[in-house]
Amino acid sequence: MVSVFQPRQLEGRYAEDEAHIKTLASAIGSPQRPTLLDPITVWWGGDRWYVVDGHHRLKAYEKVGLATGIPVDVFRGSLDEAMAHSAAANSKDRLGMRLDDKLNAAWRLVVVSGLSKSQIVAACAVSNGTVGNMRKIKDMLLNSSEHSTETLGEVSWREAKLEADGNVRDPNFDPSEAVKRRAEAYRRSLIRAMGDRPFVDTEGFGLALLSLDARLPEKLMQSDVWFPAVRQTLANMKTDALEAADISARIGLAKIGAEVTALWDAAEADSDY
């Protein structure tokens, strides 16, 4: 549910988000005598409070170490109304939503909410015709594909349009090869930018990846390439540990044997006297 209330996508916007949070943190100042920002809007979802608007302000408060006394406004309404409020608030140019973000937010509202066309248009600042087209494609995909409302809500608007068009692709298109080509481009970019530093400073590189997004380890583990690699690495570590334990045991037995031999020799030497 959390993603429903944060239309902007992290991917490709880390530096911009961090700069915005840093600016807000500077405005707050010292946690002992803070300058409070506009209230954060929260909504009770039945199990806990959700931030509907003000994610960057909340992170800025966290950055300066302020955990209490943060002003909030409680949004009272249904889930659909909370989603519309969130989309509308994020459409304002606090940290401007790109067109793709607005379209994806509108698409999610079309798929998972019961909001009217006019409500979605107003919330996401998109055209009436766009929302109408989204509704048609939603109905088409739900009726002609294996999608459910839940899975369709995870699909971007661009992906939904492609699928509605019949996934018209080159018949020779190989998704795995496409992934390999993208991976090779990323690899070359990393080498140009960082050289061997990921290997020389694995702690620093690992922390950088974690700082980029705390969800990244989980995302990587869910990928088709990382999970088998991690599983193999763990298997290798287990094998190495067992071999090390076996060697240690052998060394330990040899040491005990040597000590017993030394004691026996010493006892024999004493008996000669």
- pLDDT at residue 167, as a whole number: 54
Considering the domain boundaries, does residue 214 fall inside one?
no
- Tell me the pLDDT band of 70, cut-offs 50, 70 and 90: very high
Query: Which of 168, 189, 207 finishes a domain?
Result: 168
Considering the domain boundaries, does residue 187 fall inside one?
no
- Indicate the average pLDDT of the chain: 77
Digit-coded pLDDT (tens) for 226-242: 888 888 887 777 777 66
Which one, of 77, 56, 58, lies nearest residue 67 by Cα? 58
Kindly state whether residues 27 and 77 are assigned to the same domain. Answer: yes
Kindly state whether residues 159 and 248 are assigned to the same domain. Answer: no
Kindly state whether residues 233 and 159 are assigned to the same domain. Answer: no
Q: How far is CA 142 from the centre of its chain?
A: 27
* Residue 15, number of CB atoms within 10 A of its CB: 8
Kindly state whether residues 118 and 88 are assigned to the same domain. Answer: no
Kindly state whether residues 13 and 81 are assigned to the same domain. Answer: yes
Q: How far is CA 241 from the centre of its chain?
A: 32
User: What is the rounded CA–CA span in Å between residue 72 and residue 51?
Assistant: 10
* Segment among 105-119, 120-134, 165-179, 233-247 with least mean pLDDT: 165-179
- pLDDT at residue 132, as a whole number: 93
Considering the domain boundaries, does residue 159 fall inside one?
yes
Kindly state whether residues 240 and 150 are assigned to the same domain. Answer: no
In percent, how much of the chain has pLDDT > 70? 74
Kindly state whether residues 4 and 33 are assigned to the same domain. Answer: yes
pLDDT at 107 over 60: yes
CATH number for the domain including 30? 3.90.1530.30
- pLDDT at residue 94, as a whole number: 47
Number of domains into which the chain is organized: 3
User: What is the rounded CA–CA span in Å between residue 131 and residue 153?
Assistant: 15
Kindly state whether residues 28 and 88 are assigned to the same domain. Answer: yes
Kindly state whether residues 24 and 116 are assigned to the same domain. Answer: no
Query: Which token pair is 226?
Result: 């990382």
CA 228, 230, 234, 239 dihedral sign is: positive
| Structural domain boundaries, residue 148 | 99-168
- Tell me the pLDDT band of 95, cut-offs 50, 70 and 90: very low
Kindly state whether residues 7 and 64 are assigned to the same domain. Answer: yes
Kindly state whether residues 140 and 84 are assigned to the same domain. Answer: no
Considering the domain boundaries, does residue 45 fall inside one?
yes
Kindly state whether residues 61 and 137 are assigned to the same domain. Answer: no
| 3-state secondary structure (DSSP) of residue 44 | strand
Considering the domain boundaries, does residue 160 fall inside one?
yes
pLDDT at 174 over 70: no
Digit-coded pLDDT (tens) for 28-51: 888 888 888 889 999 998 888 888
Q: Where would I find the beta strands (DSSP E) of 14-158?
A: 40-44, 49-53, 72-74
For tokens 């040491």, the residue is 255
Query: Which of 63, 97, 131 finishes a domain?
Result: 97
Dihedral pair phi/psi, residue 123, rounded to 5°: -70, -40
